[in-house]
C-alpha cells in the first residue's frame, strides 16, 4: 500500500511498539531471556520472537503468500505447537534472536510501504486493519512481559526492605453514581476493534449504581484485616476451594517487612505502597470476596462500559477491573481474522476484565476492549470496582 498520512502514523506507532518489546529483551542476558518466571507466562525472548513471527505470518504469508521466513520458526512461535515450559530451551541465542528480529522488522517495513496490488487489494490491508491489529498485538505482549518481569522481582530477597511510611486500612467510601434505566450502546468499531468487541450491541440496563473509583490499597487492606481471606461466607464455592488450596492472604505483589508493614514488588523491586493507589494483583475469586465484604458486587462488563462511556468512572486504566460475567460472544459474533483468539475462551471458564492497567499501552485502552482471564489468575495487574 502506498502509505497514506494515516498509514505513516500507524507505521510509526508500530515501530514504537516493536522498540518497546525489543528493549525489554535487549536488557537481558541469554539465560534470562529463556527463563520462565511464572508457570502461566512464557520466557521474555519467546514473546519477542512470537510478536515478530506473528507480524511476518500475517504480512508475508497470509497477505503475500510467501512462507519462506515463517515456516522454519512456526513450530516454536505458534503457541499451540510448543508448550510454555519448553519454549525457553528452544530459543536461539540472544544475539541471533535480536538480529533476526531486526531483519524481519526492516523487511516488513519495506513491504508495508510497497504498492503491489497483492498488498493493497488484500482485505486485511483495507482501512489499515493489519497495522491496527499488529500494534495491539505487540501492546498486549508488552504488558504480559512486564508482568513476567514483575514475577522475576518477586524472586529477589527483599528481607532488608523497610517501610518508612506505612499506609493504613480504610473502610470503602461509598461514592457512586446511578445509571438510569435505558437503552445503551456497547461494543467497538472496525478497523480497530477485535472480533469479540463486534458487532456493536444495544443493551437494556439500569438502574444501577457504580463506584466512581476502584477499590484502593487501603480499602483492600481493610478487607484483609477484617478476616476476608478466612471468612468462607464471602467466597463462592469455587473461590473457597481455591483459597483452601493456595492459602493466599494478600495481593500477589504484596510483601511484609519485619515489622509487619506491607510493601509492593514491581519491575524494579520493592517499593512503598500508597494507600490511595488502586489495588492490583488479585484474582477474580479474591475480587468477588472483597466485593461481598464491602456490600457490593462486581459489575457486568456492560455496566462498566456504559458508565465509562458516560465519563462517570475515575481512575480507569490504573488496574484491569474484574467483571462479574464470564467472557462470551456477542450476538452476531464472527471470528476475524482467525478463530484462535476469542472462541477458545468462550468456555465459561474465563471472566472479562475492563479498563487497562498502568502498564497498558494506549492502543488497547478503549471502553470496548475486552480482556479475559481464568478466575485464579492473579499475576495480572487486576483489581476491582463495585456496583450496588
Local mean pLDDT, 10-residue blocks, the chain (388 residues):
68 98 98 98 99 99 98 98 98 99 98 89 96 99 99 97 98 96 98 98 97 99 99 99 98 98 98 99 99 99 99 98 99 96 98 99 98 98 98
218 and 131 part of one domain: no
The answer to whether residues 203 and 146 belong to one domain is no
pTM over 0.85: yes
Domain CATH for 208: 3.90.1580.10
Q: Is residue 327 part of a domain?
A: yes
Evaluate whether residue 207 is within a structural domain.
yes
Residue 171 included in any domain:
no
Same domain, 206 and 310: yes
> Are 106 and 213 members of one domain?
no
pLDDT at 6: 66
State residue 1's pLDDT score: 46
Q: Is the peptide bond before 191 cis (omega within 30 degrees of 0)?
A: yes
**What single string gives the DSSP state of each residue in 210-268?**
EESSPPBHHHHHHHHHTTGGG-GGGS-HHHHHHHHHH---S-TTEEE-TTS-EEEEETT
Residue 39 placed within a domain: yes
User: Do residue 149 and residue 181 come from a single domain?
Assistant: no
Q: Are residues 80 and 213 in the same domain?
A: no
The residue out of 88, 120, 153 marking a domain boundary is 153
Looking at residue 373, its pLDDT comes to 99
Domain check: are 62 and 184 in the same one?
no
Query: In the numeric block, which cell numbers belong to residue 32?
Result: 534470562
Examine the domain organization and report whether 298 and 209 are in the same domain. yes
C-alpha cell at 247: 492459602
Whether residues 368 and 258 share a domain: the answer is yes
Which of 6, 133, 4, 8 shows the shortest CA–CA distance to 62?
A: 133
Specify whether the CB–CB gap between 298 and 341 falls below 8 A: no
In a domain, 198, yes or no: yes
Between CA 164 and CA 236 the distance in angstroms is 37
Helices (H), the chain: 5-26, 30-34, 44-56, 74-77, 84-90, 94-112, 117-120, 129-153, 217-225, 237-246, 284-293, 301-309
Domain boundary among 121, 153, 185: 153
Whether 215 and 386 have beta carbons less than 8 Å apart is answered as: yes
One domain, residues 143 and 199: no
Count of domains observed in the chain: 2
Q: Which three cell numbers stand for residue 316?
A: 480507569
Q: Is 116 in the same domain as 192?
A: no
CATH of the domain at 88: 1.20.120
Phi, psi of 179 (to 5 degrees): -95, 120
Hunting for cell 493466599 — which residue is that? Answer: 248
pLDDT the model gives residue 265? 98
Q: Are 167 and 225 in contact (CB under 8 A)?
A: no
- Domain end, chosen from 138, 153, 168, is at 153
**Residue 388: inside a domain:** no
168: in domain: no
- Say if residue 216 is in the same domain as residue 353: yes
Q: Is residue 80 part of a domain?
A: yes
In three-state secondary structure terms, 156 is coil
Domain housing 344: 176-383
Amino acid at each position: 500500500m502506498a502509505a497514506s498520512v494515516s498509514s505513516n502514523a500507524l507505521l510509526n506507532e508500530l515501530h514504537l511498539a516493536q522498540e518497546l518489546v525489543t528493549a525489554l529483551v535487549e536488557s537481558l542476558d541469554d539465560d534470562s531471556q529463556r527463563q520462565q518466571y511464572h508457570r502461566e507466562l512464557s520466557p521474555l525472548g519467546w514473546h519477542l520472537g512470537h510478536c515478530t513471527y506473528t507480524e511476518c505470518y500475517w504480512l508475508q504469508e497470509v497477505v503475500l503468500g510467501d512462507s519462506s521466513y515463517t515456516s522454519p520458526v512456526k513450530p516454536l512461535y505458534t503457541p499451540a505447537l510448543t508448550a510454555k515450559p519448553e519454549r525457553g530451551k528452544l530459543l536461539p541465542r540472544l544475539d541471533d534472536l535480536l538480529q533476526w528480529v531486526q531483519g524481519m522488522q526492516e523487511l516488513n517495513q519495506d513491504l508495508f510501504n510497497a504498492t503491489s496490488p497483492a498488498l493493497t487489494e488484500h482485505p486485511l490491508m483495507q482501512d489499515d486493519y493489519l497495522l491496527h491489529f499488529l500494534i495491539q498485538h505487540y501492546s498486549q505482549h508488552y504488558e504480559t512481559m512486564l508482568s513476567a518481569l514483575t514475577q522475576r522481582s518477586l524472586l529477589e530477597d527483599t528481607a532488608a526492605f523497610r517501610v518508612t511510611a506505612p499506609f493504613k486500612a480504610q473502610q470503602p467510601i461509598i461514592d457512586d453514581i446511578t445509571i438510569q434505566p435505558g437503552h445503551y450502546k456497547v461494543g467497538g468499531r472496525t478497523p480497530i476493534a477485535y472480533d469479540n468487541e463486534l458487532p456493536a450491541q444495544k443493551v437494556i440496563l439500569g438502574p444501577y449504581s457504580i463506584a466512581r473509583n476502584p477499590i484502593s490499597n487501603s480499602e483492600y487492606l481493610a478487607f484483609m484485616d477484617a478476616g476476608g481471606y478466612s471468612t468462607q461466607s464471602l467466597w463462592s464455592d469455587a473461590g473457597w476451594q481455591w483459597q483452601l488450596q493456595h492459602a493466599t492472604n494478600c495481593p500477589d505483589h504484596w510483601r511484609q517487612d519485619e515489622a509487619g508493614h506491607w510493601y509492593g514488588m514491581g519491575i524494579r523491586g520493592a517499593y512503598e505502597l500508597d494507600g490511595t493507589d488502586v489495588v492490583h494483583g488479585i484474582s477474580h475469586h479474591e475480587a468477588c470476596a472483597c466485593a461481598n465484604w464491602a456490600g457490593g458486587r462486581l459489575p457486568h462488563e456492560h455496566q462498566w462500559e456504559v458508565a465509562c462511556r458516560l465519563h462517570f468512572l475515575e481512575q480507569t486504566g490504573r488496574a484491569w477491573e474484574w467483571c462479574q460475567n464470564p467472557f462470551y460472544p456477542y450476538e452476531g459474533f464472527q471470528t476475524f481474522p482467525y478463530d484462535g483468539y476469542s472462541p477458545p475462551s468462550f468456555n465459561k471458564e474465563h471472566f472479562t476484565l475492563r479498563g487497562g492497567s498502568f502498564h497498558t499501552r494506549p492502543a488497547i485502552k478503549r471502553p470496548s476492549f475486552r480482556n479475559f482471564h481464568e478466575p485464579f489468575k492473579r499475576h495480572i495487574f487486576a483489581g476491582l470496582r463495585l456496583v450496588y
